[in-house]
Chains A and B, each alone.
Chain A
């Protein structure tokens, strides 16, 4: 091999050494690659399940399929909830494609928050955005996301903080699971953090009871096909539950009545039993406790 070509290989070798050193020292950015991979996988993987969970971020952070499977080992559970995810035909249709109808027993679990039956979540933006993403980008996110996380880009500020051993003033830790659950922690806790967002959303739109009727119609169709449907109101802080009731026009008793009439089983929750970090999302330990409760309720009614 001539010398100059050899130089390129040696340079590459040195670059690999630098990359390995920097890659192991520099901070990672899981909120980019692992998050991207998580959503791409959630929408585009082809596996099917006999237990599907639908809802919004309160549900995908708050319901752990692992804990449901522990109580109900005969089920393969998938959390198919999305940020600002609405309960409407687009998502029902998508959920059905994931449902393994060949098994004896199939379950759909609905996390019915005020925002899931609200015009704001009607477009299911996150789901649609992920669904329409360019093929090569989906492949990149799904299959390279985990590896690309090692090569996370950093800013000089992050390097400075690392050198000065500066601890972040706040931190949002999310662990993304292939079964659709996002195990979450955040510090410091601020149970009023989510309130302004909900106030703003409810100023624009409140619970749409036409969507509730549409949901009931869908429940009716599912139950006629032998699919068991369960529903619950995702836990939140007391002030947020009151806000949801008043400003969001969320009438839990009425929704429960309609849903049960359509054939679903409503699981009653005591929202104060579970701690949230921002008023609307459960800590991971609380999510696991809550999931076990849900699973036991389902087990008792099967």
Chain B
């Protein structure tokens, strides 16, 4: 089910109408949340519900076993991890792995894989990671396992964030599910703001930038204009940002309406003045997941400088692969790792500039690196990406960004917004008192009207495929 569909509107209306009657009856609340989440997920393809239930059951039992039989806790953890990684490998990577083996050895493994396993279930990377963090945290003693199976599935399948995050840690979410959470008036208003902003980002900005990106990247001929490609990559950078941040905002808003709190997932990443800062602002729930469950367990930077770089490279490449089963994603991760390594060695740029000019230079360097990496993320193949980069850095061709009048308006909107954040203008705009409240109400009312009349052609959220 898509957030930007009429079916979801009906689903959410029905869900919240019943939700308000759950009051302090926690069991009823959790059962309702679990059933609703299964309906939400099954709407896409009910056949894949068994995957969440299967991996969920394994993790639920493994966590209890880890706590109750500490002697074999490693074995239980390994079986839980194997189940999750196995399911992920089978459904997400079997096609990619077999294709590469076929190319290398001239075999025909790919043809022998059942079509069913070549379908990547929506959100599989999100819920398996969420589930894995639960057993790992129990293993490390950071979390006590829950014996309430409904509570566990309510956490694992929670519909606002089930298919595209943010990835919520069990230690943050399970305590919220146990206790009675009163939805305060602030929650209602905050949730409303998150939801409206989220829909605006997705339906007005991302969906209206999509045609620019599709025209550029889906064309079999690579356009021979440098400026056109810079324009297309900038459009993609904002499309993916608004698409994903929009989803996260809607998820956070819906959670607020249930009385739950999801962490911030995006914090204006394109104003970063260092790549390190960028990764602290982009897809925060995933970055921190990789930091805590891959980078740090590998030793982080505590085992010497070289080992620190190697660990970082491993983390970034795996993160690239997490996004998709293709070499372009691996390359995207590797490029970020390379840029981060250079930044670490040179200690430039940094997020703490006192000089405005240097701050701008740092920002420019970061944005160019991020854009170059996005080319690999969006291109159809590595060769395609190199062709695009060749044109981008040839500085030739027509002097058109290829946005057209419509695209330029939406680009201008989002760029101006980010400039305001970069320069801190948004903090200076502070209308206090009744006037401020009224201005905010008009602002959100206008946003709703704009979402309705200026929405782009509805499409799936990009991160569904990951």
* Chain A residues with a Cβ under 8 A of chain B: 2-5, 7-8, 10-15, 17-19, 22-23, 26, 136, 140, 144, 151-157, 160
B48 to chain A, nearest CB (A): 17
Q: Which of B437, B448, B455 has the most chain A CB atoms closer than 10 A to its own CB? A: B448
B157 to chain A, nearest CB (A): 21
B437 close to A154 (CB less than 8 A): no
B6 contacts partner chain A, Cβ-Cβ < 8 Å: yes
B6 close to A144 (CB less than 8 A): yes
B453 close to A4 (CB less than 8 A): no
**Residue of chain B at shortest CB distance from A155:** B406
**Residue of chain A at shortest CB distance from B184:** A4
A residues less than 8 Å from B405 (CB atoms): 156-157, 160
A residues less than 8 Å from B186 (CB atoms): 4
Q: Which of A8, A26, A151, A160 has the most chain B CB atoms closer than 10 A to its own CB? A: A8
Given A151-B453, A156-B410, A160-B405, 16 extra CB contacts under 8 A: A2-B185, A7-B441, A8-B189, A10-B441, A11-B448, A13-B445, A15-B445, A15-B448, A18-B446, A136-B7, A151-B452, A153-B452, A154-B453, A156-B406, A157-B405, A157-B406
B189 close to A7 (CB less than 8 A): yes
A29 to chain B, nearest CB (A): 11
**Residue of chain B at shortest CB distance from A158:** B406
**What are the 10 A-B residue pairs with the smallest beta carbon separation, nearest first?**
A14-B445, A18-B449, A15-B448, A4-B185, A15-B445, A4-B189, A156-B409, A11-B441, A155-B406, A2-B185
- The 8 Å CB contact of B442, one of A14, A152, A155, is A14
B86 contacts partner chain A, Cβ-Cβ < 8 Å: no
Interface code B432-466, partner A: CB below 8 Å = 1, 0 otherwise? 00000100011011101100111110000000000
Secondary structure type dominating chain A contacts: helix
B192 close to A8 (CB less than 8 A): yes
* Chain B residues with a Cβ under 8 A of chain A: 6-7, 185-186, 188-189, 192, 404-406, 409-410, 437, 441-442, 444-446, 448-449, 452-456
In Å, the complex CA distance between A23 and B449 comes to: 9
Q: A8-B192, A153-B456 are in contact. Are A19 and B448 (CB under 8 A)?
A: yes
In Å, the complex CA distance between A13 and B189 comes to: 15
In Å, the complex CA distance between A22 and B410 comes to: 19
- The 8 Å CB contact of A154, one of B6, B188, B445, B454, is B454
B residues less than 8 Å from A4 (CB atoms): 185-186, 188-189
B453 close to A153 (CB less than 8 A): yes
A3 close to B185 (CB less than 8 A): yes
Q: A18-B445, A22-B449 are in contact. Are A8 and B406 (CB under 8 A)?
A: no
A14 close to B185 (CB less than 8 A): no
A residues less than 8 Å from B404 (CB atoms): 157
A114 to chain B, nearest CB (A): 32
B residues less than 8 Å from A19 (CB atoms): 448-449, 452-453
A residues less than 8 Å from B188 (CB atoms): 4-5, 8
B95 to chain A, nearest CB (A): 25
